[in-house]
Amino acid sequence: MPTRTLRIPIYSVDGDIHEFYNDLRQTLHLSRSVFNRMLTRCASKDTLAYDAYTKKEKIPSISAKELDCYSDEVVNFPGCAGVCACMSFKQVVPLYKQFRWEILRGTKSLPLKRSAPWSLLLSDGFKAWHDEDSDKWYVKIKLLNKRWTCELMSGSNYAKLIYGLKKAFELDEKCVRDSKIWIDKRKNHAIIGISVRFPQKSNDDLCGTLMVSTDRNSFLKIIKEKTEIPFVFNADHLRRWNAERVRKQQRLRQDKKYDRSCRKYITKKQEQISIKYKDRLQTFCHTVTKQIVDYAIRNKIAKVTLDITIKTYIEQFTWFDLKTKLQYKCEKEGIEFEEVTRTMQAPDLDEPHVYFVLATDPETKKSLGRIKIGKTTQKSQKRQKQLESMGGQDLVYLAAHKVPKYKLTKQEKEYHALFAEHQIGKGKKEWFKSEPIIDWLREVECLGNTGNLSQISQVLEVK
């Protein structure tokens, strides 16, 4: 069932409001301490990975059970056993496993937090209900020192959220799951993030696939299966919004250097500009994803695929937010969602991978206009010698896509099908024209992901 977090501020509490916020600040301070200590404990438990990395051996995989630090930290925080367990399994361990490789290589430090929300668990008595007489919504929460009953805001700004909460309760009275609370720094209000589970619709008469992908000439290109005419979101205003934000922030940074008396005022203006841009993008993501889902409903689409590999149309966009909103809206309407984005990050060439190599003239060091796309499970030095043995040309690694060994052949065939119209000759199945492939590698930002940009710059103009 799709789950969505409804962020609704607290309007009033059954007691002194100052006492409530003091209790909440102490609770959030404890939550931050628990999170950072448990994340540090995770890194200290991962000793086998550090030993393997220093010895240049294969880094072993690790399970969530081996990284679990709940039993070690629950002693230091009495009375918070449930919160520690929830934070360990749902937040700390997944976050460490996500950045484990970067932390081992030293390209990223531990993602410690300056603030962390407090978990509101059903086992601790968390409850949300509607008072029909006053038409108001209430929640019952447990903080560090006391239990509180809070009234939620119900103004026009939160009418849609309240309507969604009411609709979920009509379908299932037990739709509320474990939630969280935090303080919004912008409005200095306590926010309850109520996790609501919506029942999934069952649509048996749906069929077909809707392919949603990014493009270098437009924001999104939407194509229905067995059709050729795309439904396009140009979204030129996104570029204007981004240019406006960059220009204003640049001017304020320059003013901040030379006018020290107004630093607080300028800092506040910078925060307002960032908040305005963030809110604009959030509203835009809701609008676009709603239009895509409505289009899929009208055409009785059974599956929506999203490919955001190419990100050159607009820089610094909230792609994860777009994907999340599209996913839960599809699941709510009973439409299957699948992300087919290609991720080609810095690979280890000693591992199985699909490679893109450019043929160059050994004397002039200029491109010969052809690229070889193939797969290999051999070590990089052995493979390089084998490639160099092809007479009359030198080969330069442009990019590589690390793939598990059992998926190598499938991934190679996918790339061959992607560039089939640029294939050179019938007998040379792995050779393609270089220009369209180089343009594609630039668009997906993986040209030189093997760390040899200096070598590539000798034969190509690296942007």
Per-residue pLDDT tens digits of the chain, which is 463 residues long? 678 888 899 999 998 899 999 999 999 999 999 899 888 888 888 888 888 878 777 777 788 778 888 777 777 777 778 888 888 888 888 888 888 877 887 777 888 888 889 989 888 888 888 888 888 899 999 998 889 999 998 888 888 888 888 888 887 778 888 899 999 877 788 999 998 887 766 666 778 889 998 887 889 999 888 777 788 888 899 999 999 999 999 998 888 887 777 888 888 888 889 889 988 999 999 999 999 999 998 888 888 999 888 877 887 788 889 999 999 888 888 888 998 887 766 677 777 888 888 888 877 777 888 888 888 876 555 555 455 555 556 788 888 888 888 888 888 888 888 888 888 876 567 888 888 888 888 877 788 777 777 777 777 776 5
Give this prediction's pTM. 0.64
CATH top-level class of 209-339: alpha beta
What phi and psi, each to the nearest 5 degrees, are found at residue 25? -65, -40
**Is residue 375 within 8 Å of residue 413, measured between CB atoms?**
no
Report d(CA 326, CA 91) in Å as an integer: 22
Of the CA atoms within 13 Å of residue 243, those in its CB half-sphere come to 5
**Residues 6 or more apart in contact with residue 141 via CB below 8 angstroms:** 120, 126, 147, 148, 150, 181, 192
Give CA–CA dist 150/233, Å, rounded. Answer: 42
Distance CA 203, CA 301 (A): 10
Q: What is the pLDDT of residue 267?
A: 87
pLDDT of residue 306: 92
Burial grade of 438 (CB within 10 A; 0-12, 13-18, 19 or more)? buried
Residue 22: the pLDDT is 92
d(CA 177, CA 122): 7
Answer for the pair 144, 25: CB distance below 8 angstroms, yes or no. no
**Tokens describing residue 426:** 């019938």
Where are the chain's structural domains?
A: 1-199, 209-339, 353-456
| Ordered strands of the 353-360 beta sheet | 394-402, 353-360, 367-376, 431-433
Specify whether the CB–CB gap between 13 and 24 falls below 8 A: no
Note the pLDDT of residue 56: 74
59 contact partners, CB below 8 Å, separation of at least 6: 49, 52, 53, 101, 104
Residue 384 is predicted with a pLDDT of 52
Tell me, what's the pLDDT at 445?
76
